[in-house]
Chain A
Amino acid sequence: MPKTKHCLLLIMLSGAFMPAAFSQVVKQKDTIPARDTLIETLKDNLQDNIPVISLDENDAQDGSAQNISSQLSAGRDPFLNAATFKFGAVRFRIRGYDADQFGTYINGVPMENLDNGFTPYGQWGGLNDVFRNRESTLGLTPTTFAYGGVGGLTSFDTRASHQRKQTSINYASSNRNYSNRIMLTHSTGLNSKGWAFSFSGSRRWADEGFTDGTYYDGWSFYAAVDKRFNDRHLLSFAAFGTPTENGRQGASVTEMVNLAGNNFYNPYWGYQNGKKRNASVAKSFQPIGILTHDWKISDKTTLVTAASVTYGNRSVTGLDWYNAADPRPDYYRYLPSYQLDPYYAEQVKQELMSDVNKRQINWDALYNTNYNSFDVVHNAFGITGNDAAGKRSHYILENRIVNTLKYSFNSTLNTTLSEHASLSAGVTYQSQRNNYYKKVDDLLGGDFYVDVNQFGERDFPTNPDAGQNNLNTPNRILGVGDKFGYNYDINIKRGSVWLQGVFKFRKIDFFVATEHSYTSFYRYGNVRTGLFPGNSYGKSSTNNFYNSGIKGGITYKINGRNYLFANGSYESRAPFFENAYIAPRTRDFVQDNLKSEEILTTEAGYAMNAPKLKIRATGYFTQFKNQIDVLTFYNDEFQNFVNYAISNIGKIHMGIEFGAEAKIYKGLSLTAAAAIGKYYYNTRQSATVTADNSSAVLSKDVVVYSKNFNVPTPQQAYTIGLDYRSPRFWFVTANFNYFDKMYLSINPIRRTESAVSGVVEGTDLWHQIVDQTELKPQYTVDLFAGYSWLMNRKFHNLKKRTFLLFNVGINNLLDNREIVSGGFEQLRFDFAGKNVNKFPDKRFYAYGINYYASVGIRF
């Protein structure tokens, strides 16, 4: 296979530093012997299909959660491998960092969303065959393609000429999010005229997933073409997209989960005419096109320039209701605990236990309410005297849509200055426009809906404007497909430059790097909200941030097999849009004193790379300062969305990572990994509480006594496994995984003076309100096996080398159904009654025993 200078340089660097600290830069394809590749492919195939839930709840609200996502990163590093594949069941996050600390590049362009820093893994889900070439780093390790955040970087190379020349057909069966998958891939390799083509497509689907009421229908398409002009220029284009639709799963309160007798209780669905209908349907299709120019300027210098464009929608449906009873079956007033008389609590309990329809959405009741609701809307469309009469829906399905248009440009120069020094430099420009709006998806038997806001109507009965979602067209009568509610754009631009020098000598390697960036963002309102006529329509003021970072590291080579290394970094980072704007749905207010956060991190460790033993142990310490966040939830007391704008968030993340791989006997090896961390808040945060539909500030600068509370991700995770690789082309691995120190994420408002006012400090009640819930330690057992059969051995007339591949992976073999993989305290609190169980926490459960099995042919 022809290699570009870029690749050569990579290999050179990898080779030179491996397995020093920088050896986390792994170019898989070129470092794994050919025969093993197939086995590794088999393993990848299994691992790629482990559901890793990587997005948080906030994000899930706008439909970006794919439920299923590919791995965050992967590699041959035993720790990184474990962290990625073995710890995924419990929402483990490397070093406890938020998802925005990890960057992802595809063919040279950054993929993160500018609004929240998350990588949209779902946009290439189901394209495992062509997303196999990747390199991953952990922590501050330098790379040749980007400056990187503190968490680490992954770079995929999906270019056509870098795909193995082959055809692959694969079928998989699973009981996770999807039941079936078909995948076809064909890559031509580079032909004599310098062209290479690669195509891949797959479909993953399930009529019902592991969780009741969920379904999945995901398509994936990929096409790429490369043209090599001469030794110096390679032009590549790749386009891919994954139109996906799935019925989602929602977290619920323990009370309801227990009544349902099922930890996988899903409040999102209900029977309609005997069929399960899910109210929360996510759809996504945001295809990406990437053009990459790989230019070997000289034998020592390469310039990789890439540009990409992403355009499309992601959306999620949900129930909306107007002056009607809450349709959610697990609404607290419908549960036994709401009954004051134990007799009726028991009656309600029996009713809920015996009738599945009481535990799920009652679609019939919603339709019937709409059938019965004749109404006349006066001054429809803002035209005086214009009456609209008919069945006015009280319940509808709304579709919350995010339309994204994103451009990225990135250019990276790598040059070798001397035997001892090489230089990398890059310039990046990214621009993203998201348009957020709602559409009527289903009137549920009614004739129309009206574009008004019942909260504004109710709170300001004498102000006819207050209830209008859009003063530009008041009282708009809505049919299916009409936009309503909020409608605003966010516009973000970010430009950055970075420079890095890597120096290597006989005993010591070191690097220094710096990055400078400029970020600006603003909101643009497309409707004029009745409550905020002066702050909702048109362009808001622009928020600008200049940021910089510096990092460096040193590796001391004790000998050829033992290394010590230490890295450090300091950076400032612009806040993300979604944390800066308090209530962007209705107005353009930003948090007070909007400023950049600061991140200080250091890491140091030891690595050993002997033929039969690989060890890496790293300690790290990271401090986050001045972070901000916005938490939003529906508060039925206000019948309103309430926003907590949290500022002065400080966190300490420190711990030890350990990974080891030992060859015990012939093909048998032992792997072990541990992540032992302590992640906690080290400041008292400040909370300002506002409601979406009120201009009043409900609480201002409330001190949150958040110091020393834990960041919720599992802080301790361990795995130990045996791996047997037979010379007869099969393998089997088994792992035992153990997780400890898992916590529910806290409701900041429960750690305030007013939450405990009148409660004697130290009493049980006080502890109930203030203490953070620690979850039970958990364990799982996973098993993987695979076999590849070279058909040519049997069928001698086959022209090509043809393999039949068999894979099976079983996660949670012991069917432990009590694994709480995460959860959160509801953001409401019963200030009057001080009853923490009135709005209890909501929890997620990891799947019980689940499998993935596939059969494929490759030639």
Chain B
Amino acid sequence: MNKIFKLTTVVMLVILAGTFSACKKSFDNPPGAADPAIVANTSIKSLKALHTSSGDYDIITSDLVISGVVVADDKSGNLYKQLYIQDATGGLQVLLDANSLYGTYPVGRRIFIKCKDLCVSDYNGMIELGVKATVAGLPSLEGIPSNLVSKYVVGGSINNPVTPIVVTQNQLGTNMQDQYLGSLIQLDGYEFSDPNATFSDTSAYKSTVNLDIKSCAGQTIIVRTSAYANFAGQKVPGGNGSIVAIYTTFGTTKQLLLRNAEDVNFTGGRCNLFEEYFNILTTGDNNLDFVFPGWKNIAPNATALYKNAVFGTSGKCVKVTAFGTTLNADTAWLITPAIALPAATTPQLQFSTAYQFATGPTTIHAFVSTNYNGSNTPNTATWTQVSTNGQIPGNTATNNSSTYSSFSNTGNISLAAYAGQTVYIAFKYTGSVSGGRTTNFEVDDIRVTRQ
């Protein structure tokens, strides 16, 4: 009998061991993303067209299905609880009441939206798709509640190509139905107006920040960035180039929304190849001889040199006159540092002048040289006059007024002929004490732009 029990024991031990694997859990990985068997029956453009009057809530009552590729998600934190999707007809802002949407709906994922019971409305002219809710007694467009998202939004394939539409600023309209609103666009040849700015607010207030970018032609548009973006504290790139962004409006104000800092490809040289506003001058510098590093200030006698002019807190420039000097046939030279003009551009020079005690014909003109060597004898180089009297009113004025004229900008003076070369620009004052040609000139805002 004892043997029987021993046998039983052994048998039970075997059973015990045999059941060992029964409890071990193993799990297959679930399948990955693929396009579902859903067909879009309308376009984003047609869906947006349902919303004709700003402020209305247009609830979709039919079984409309749109499909688009996510072109902007919330990965960087600049967008919050929203995605932008786009098809061939346009882009659309979609509101979803959930965080970290990029986990499920990353850029490049095709999604299908069953729009029935959703609502198209707008936020000050910017069309959005969401749900109409009543909050505190008032209607509002809200994100699709996170647990309902799967009822409306179906994810499809991933890594679809996302290519921004290259546009010019003039193509961007502010009409609600504008074809580019909500789309991923690209503008070329822009730069931040303030190259030293940071993208957004790093203070505790976490305010959203608007920064201007501008083209070399002077067109500006806003880049709007949330303080919650992970690049909020980054310095903007200082150069010039292309920017990829979602185009939005706020009323009639055009705004660009970045997906991340890498969307700003401002790596080229800025519009201004050279600029001098004399802003570092201070009151104490007034009437002293102008001395800036790299510049040349050359005159036959010391009194005829260009002087610093500082009046008030804002007016800072340089001035020159023959009055009280022995300047006769000779001229006073103010020569910029060397300026490299890139090839394949049409560089433009502009500057501003003002005058006083105009006794004409005293002249100041801009000259360009490609063979000046930086010496104190500019006369030995070849200089070509590029400004005309028409661009500098003081050259022909004779009113002899004690009041300074207002500054007059020359407008663009083409330096296209010098593209690809390094040049010096000289401001040559020609007056004569003996001839009574002693007009006082001021020069400011000297710029060479690329264009």
Contact = CB atoms under 8 A, between A and B. Distances in A.
Interface of A: 167, 169, 182, 184, 203, 205-207, 215-217, 245, 247, 272-273, 275, 277-278, 323-326, 333-334, 338-341, 343-344, 347-348, 351-352, 358, 363-365, 367-369, 371-373, 394, 445, 457-458, 461-462, 795, 797-800, 857, 859
B12 A348 contact: no
B100 A325 contact: yes
16 contacts: A169-B9, A182-B12, A203-B19, A205-B22, A247-B25, A343-B134, A348-B148, A367-B29, A367-B32, A368-B33, A372-B33, A372-B104, A373-B103, A462-B233, A799-B1, A799-B2
B106 A373 contact: yes
A169 B10 CA distance: 11
Contacts of A351: 147-148, 151
B135 A340 contact: yes
B23 A205 contact: yes
A273 B100 contact: no
Interface in B108-154: 109, 131, 133-136, 142, 145-148, 151
Nearest to A369: B103
B25 A277 contact: yes
A273 B133 CA distance: 36
A562 to B, nearest CB: 50
B30 A340 contact: no
B205 interface: no
A859 B5 contact: yes
Contacts of B344: none
Given A323-B100, A368-B104, A371-B32, A461 B230 contact: yes
B104 A184 contact: no
B417 to A, nearest CB: 44
B135 A325 contact: no
A374 to B, nearest CB: 8
Contact of A207 (B9, B22, B104, B131): B22
A343 B133 contact: yes
Which of B75, B99, B101, B151 has the largest number of chain A CB atoms within 10 A? Answer: B99
A792 to B, nearest CB: 11
Contacts of B207: none
A395 to B, nearest CB: 8
Nearest to B109: A372
Contacts of B230: 457-458, 461
Given A182-B16, A348-B145, A462-B202, A273 B1 contact: no
A272 B30 contact: yes
B339 interface: no
A341 B135 CA distance: 6
Nearest to B104: A369
A457 B230 CA distance: 9
Interface string B1-21: 110010011001101100100
A372 B106 contact: yes
Contacts of B142: 340-341, 344
The DSSP consensus for interface residues of chain A is mixed
A358 B109 CA distance: 23
Contact of B103 (A167, A205, A325): A325
B135 to A, nearest CB: 5
Contacts of A341: 133-135, 142
Given A184-B12, A325-B100, A347 B5 contact: no
A800 B1 CA distance: 10
Interface residues of B, number: 47
A372 B147 CA distance: 21
Contacts of B145: 338-339, 344, 347-348
Nearest to B232: A461
B246 to A, nearest CB: 20
A245 B23 CA distance: 9
Interface of B: 1-2, 5, 8-9, 12-13, 15-16, 19, 22-25, 27-30, 32-33, 75, 97-101, 103-104, 106, 109, 131, 133-136, 142, 145-148, 151, 155, 158, 202, 230, 232-233
A363 B9 contact: no
Contact of B100 (A277, A324, A347, A457): A324
B99 A325 contact: yes
B416 to A, nearest CB: 42
B133 A340 contact: yes
A800 B5 CA distance: 12
Given A203-B16, A344-B148, A275 B27 contact: yes
A368 B36 CA distance: 14
Closest 7 CB pairs of A and B: A341-B133, A369-B103, A217-B23, A364-B30, A325-B100, A371-B32, A461-B233
A333 B148 CA distance: 12
Contacts of A184: 9, 12-13
A167 B7 CA distance: 13
Contacts of B28: 272-273
Contacts of B133: 339-341, 343-344
Contacts of B151: 351
Contact of A169 (B2, B8, B29, B106): B8
A347 B106 contact: no
B151 to A, nearest CB: 7
A216 B15 CA distance: 17
Which of B32, B101, B202 has the largest number of chain A CB atoms within 10 A? Answer: B32
B26 to A, nearest CB: 9
B95 to A, nearest CB: 13
A435 B90 CA distance: 57
Contacts of A458: 230
Contacts of A182: 12, 15-16
A806 to B, nearest CB: 17
Nearest to B101: A325
A372 B1 CA distance: 65
A277 B26 CA distance: 9
A371 B233 contact: no
Contacts of B32: 367-368, 371, 445
Contacts of A217: 23-24
